Amino acid sequence: MRKTVDGFSKFSKLEKVNWLVSTFFNDDSKVKQVLMQYWNSNPLLQDLHDDFIENTISNFYLPFGIAPNFVINGKEYAIPMTIEESSVVAAASLVAKFWSTRGGFKAKVISTTKIGQVHFMYEGDKTGLENYFNSKKDNFYKVTEGITRNMRKRGGGILEIELRDKTTELENYYQLHVTFETADSMGANFINSCLEAIAKDFEKEDIQIVMCILSNYVPECLVHAEVSCKVEELYAENSELLAQKFVQAIQIANAEPHRAVTHNKGIMNGVDAVVIATGNDFRAIEAGAHAYASRSGKYKSLTNASIENGFFKFWIEIPLAVGTVGGLTSLHPLSKLSLKLLGNPSAKELMQLIAVAGLAQNFAALRALTTTGIQKGHMKMHLTNIIKQLGASDEEKTFLIDYFEHKTITHNAVVEAYNKLVQEK
């Protein structure tokens, strides 16, 4: 059967589903049922979701949870988190409560500028190019006035435009490097529109524009978050030894990229969960964060820790380009609810909350790794998922949870215990 199709985007949603099921699933009615059972019964809400992307055939749900007990800069928060990985929300909640009795989290935004670039090729004399750029620079602000007007009213706009010579990296390659402030919006469309207007005004016969695009590497859109306490307040026993192991764990991540990647992945568990819940772009955040972790030329930890004069300090610095207006933040009902839950924060405030979530997640992971090990807590949370996969009844679920209360949890062990239980019954 021919599996290519013409005019698919013009099909109705049901026609798309029918084509998919008949072409790839041999008209299996169960497949159609799975897809349609996730359609929202509210047609207006479903239409809203259908318009987020092209060729929508269903909705893909992720758990939407809350991590309470966060105290950040003296203010209490319950932080919304959207993620499918077990133990993430539980870990964040436990860490939030732990630090709430030790002064809470402190956070501050270091800077908020973002970058966009016009990439072009030029084979002529560099001095001539510099003279041409200087003659056009003031006009760049004029040709973008209509685009930047509303942003300037909110305190944003174009901050600087530079000509950069990149010919040592690539022959004939130059760029216009433009710095922006986008206030409470993430600003992607705003930045790209400005860049295209600048490029159109700049291009001439001997200047070949290749592309105009914002950068998701935003090392100057930076936020800092930290916690601190006396070493003896960190652990109930062996506090000095365990605090030292905690610091050593980060030193290992700075020395060993294989560990650093997993270390930072744990941070992004917390970061991404809040980014998704608030309708922001987690792919852009991920790319920018990992690039920042490599800024020294070696991939390292995004967090740091120290022990000085009997005090333990743990902190993170991470680039976060997020928005609280525009895009999905203004469209998705749960994203709007998330922002309302957080007190309708500014973009700067949201940066702080997200950084804290990442720091909390990393603290939970390192505390577990340097004490009981990561699997004890993770597998306990994962136990319920294994039980569901087995199709256990409520009675069987209760038995298995009690049975593994003080036993090592592995997938095989749970399967064996379940099969034995079924056989005995």
Classify residue 147: in a domain, yes or no.
Answer: yes
Q: What is the CATH number of the domain that holds 348?
A: 3.90.770.10
In a domain? residue 342: yes
Q: Is residue 385 part of a domain?
A: yes
Mark whether 139 and 242 lie in a shared domain.
no
* Distance from the Cα of residue 151 to its chain's centroid: 25
**Inside any domain, residue 106:** no
Residue 255 in any domain: the answer is yes
What is this structure's pTM?
A: 0.88
On whether the CB atoms of residues 222 and 109 are closer than 8 A, the answer is: yes
- How is 379-394 classified by DSSP, letter by letter? HHHHHHHHHHHHT--H
Number of structural domains in the chain = 4
Give yes or no: residues 304 and 233 share one domain. yes
Structure tokens at 329: 């933040």
231 lies in the same domain as 281: yes
> Which domain range does residue 416 map to?
377-424
Phi, psi at 408, each rounded to 5°: -70, 130
Contacts for 224 with CB less than 8 Å, ≥ 6 apart? 107, 108, 109, 110, 315, 316, 317, 355
Residues 146 and 240 in one domain: no
Per residue in 231-243, pLDDT (tens digit) is: 999 998 899 999 9
Is residue 403 situated within a structural domain?
Answer: yes
Please give the Cα distance from 149 to 366 (Å, whole number). Answer: 47
Provide the pairing of β-strand 221-230 with 311-319.
antiparallel
| Same structural domain, 198 and 327 | no
3-class DSSP state for residue 253? helix
Give the count of beta carbons closer than 10 Å to the beta carbon of residue 236.
Answer: 8
CATH number, domain with residue 140: 3.30.70.420
- Domain assignment present for residue 78? The answer is no
Q: What is the pLDDT of residues 319-374, one digit of tens each?
A: 999 999 988 888 999 999 999 999 999 999 999 999 999 999 999 999 999 987 65
By residue count, the chain amounts to: 425
Q: Looking at the structure, tell me whether residues 311 and 355 fall in a common domain.
A: yes
The two tokens of residue 153 are 């009213």
Rounded distance, CA 242 to CA 236, Å? Answer: 10
Greater confidence (390 vs 350) lies with: 350
Cα 62 from chain centre = 15
- Say yes or no: 256 and 363 in one domain: yes
Residue 40 lies in a domain: yes
- 173, 249: one domain: no
pLDDT at residue 1, rounded to an integer = 58
Using one digit for the tens of pLDDT, what is the confidence trace for 44-94? 999 999 999 999 999 999 999 999 999 999 999 999 999 999 899 999 999
3-state secondary structure 29-66: HHHHHHHHHCCCCCHHHHHHHHCCCCCCCCCCCCCEEE
- Please report the pLDDT score of residue 380 as a whole number: 62
**Are 357 and 407 in a shared domain?**
no
Write out pLDDT tens, residues 136-171. 999 999 999 999 999 999 999 999 999 999 999 999
Asked if 305 and 388 sit in the same domain, the reply is no
Same-domain check for residues 332 and 418 = no
Active site members: 85, 265, 281, 378
Residues 198 and 256 in one domain: no
Question: How far apart are the C-alpha atoms of 303 and 284, rounded to whole Å?
Answer: 19
Q: Are 293 and 260 in contact (CB under 8 A)?
A: yes
Q: What is the mean pLDDT of residues 387-395?
A: 83
